[in-house]
Amino acid sequence: MAVRHTVTVYGAYGHTGRFVVAHLRERGFVPVLAGRDTDKLNALADEHPGLDVRPASVDDPGSLDHALAGAAAVINCAGPFATTAAPVIEAALRAGIPYVDVAAEIEANADTFAYFADRARDAGAVIVPAMAFYGGLGDLLATAAMGDWTEADEAHIAYGLNSWEPTDGTRAAGKVSAERRNGRRVRFTGGQLEYHDDDLPTLKWSFPDPMGPRAVIGEFTMADVVTIPSHLPVPEVRTYMTTEAAGGLADPDTPAPTAVDEHGRSAQTFLVDVVVRSGTTERRAVAGGQDIYAVTAPLAVEAVDRILTGRTRTVGVASAGEIFDAPDFLRALSPHITLELRP
């Protein structure tokens, strides 16, 4: 009989956290429901009878230790990650268990690499930030597209979202990131993050069928500018977002996601088109699916499963493409995404 690992989900009652809890149960794990709001945790427990509820605050290390006690791993779904990542990572290091989060915040992910790389490596610990739609999926696709290349000149990640109804968590994280940047924008160029004030261009991106050519916002920078360069020698990483999705995110009146199926997914669809270029040669990887928040759950849970079963390539702080076999990982997501690799 397979071991039924216990996995603490911090921020379990949030929009993405709920998907993670449900998917853990589908995969045979036993989630522990943790987070800051006891009432919300208890309400979620009513939907999942028998699961342990452990309230915990990032300001109270003892409560975090209790939340992680006996767990085989922790998945942090509680943003803003500028506030939660470091305390939960510290608790994971004290507990001696792997840490995975779903952070899309560029600066928070950069902080994780900067502050914990040496300690995690020396301890033989595993910390995987941005194991989500933004950051993780793009990194896996770029790594798979690279194939046997050891370096590339550019990586382009184009997000073809037909719409974007942001969660409260997305809006809160975006506000924190904007404050940390003093309202500036960020790009990855010349091998480093660069902050700037110039306007973002509107371009055309030729997505594969059935989406086809779409208007996109250029340099709509996401967490891929942290995850991909963390292990791939690519000095230029550029990301793009369809204008309709960017507009939905920017509009303060855009509603939160609304479930349209039995899995709780919204009607939102996506196509992530990744192109890596070396000289005049390009390679491409494309993934499609439904609901960017829902698809984060199989990404994070598959990561935990592979860590706990020893299917990893390194220790320390590592992005998805570095620590996992990227093509194999992506194929394992076939119930949740379509995949096309064009080496």
CATH number, domain with residue 147: 3.30.360
**Domain carrying residue 89:** 6-132+296-326
CATH number, domain with residue 116: 3.40.50.720
Task: Calculate what percentage of the chain has a pLDDT beyond 90.
Answer: 97
User: pLDDT band at residue 3, thresholds of 50, 70 and 90?
Assistant: low
The pLDDT of residue 272 is: 98
SS3 315: coil
| Same-domain check for residues 137 and 286 | yes
> How do 73-76 and 6-10 pair as beta strands?
parallel
pLDDT tens-digit profile of 68-122?
999 999 999 999 999 999 999 999 999 999 999 999 999 999 999 999 999 999 9
Residues 6+ apart with CB under 8 A from 114: none
| Same-domain check for residues 265 and 163 | yes
Q: Which long-range contacts (CB under 8 A, 24 or more apart) does 170-174 make?
A: 170/79, 170/104, 170/249, 172/79, 172/80, 173/79, 173/80, 173/81, 173/82, 173/103, 173/104, 173/105, 174/249
The phi, psi pair for 248, rounded to 5°, reads -65, -40
pLDDT tens-digit profile of 251-274?
999 999 999 999 999 999 999 999
| Same-domain check for residues 142 and 172 | yes
Environment class of 304 (CB within 10 Å of its CB; exposed 0-12, middle 13-18, buried 19+): buried
pLDDT tens-digit profile of 199-218?
999 999 999 988 999 999 99
SS3 127: strand
Residue 142 belongs to a domain: yes
Neighbours of 25 (CB within 10 A): 14
- Stated pTM of the model: 0.97
User: Which residues are paired to 339 by β-bridges?
Assistant: 287
Residue 262 belongs to a domain: yes
| Same-domain check for residues 146 and 225 | yes
Domain total for the chain? 2
Closest CA to 319 of 131, 87, 73: 131
| Same-domain check for residues 274 and 207 | yes
Residue 110 belongs to a domain: yes
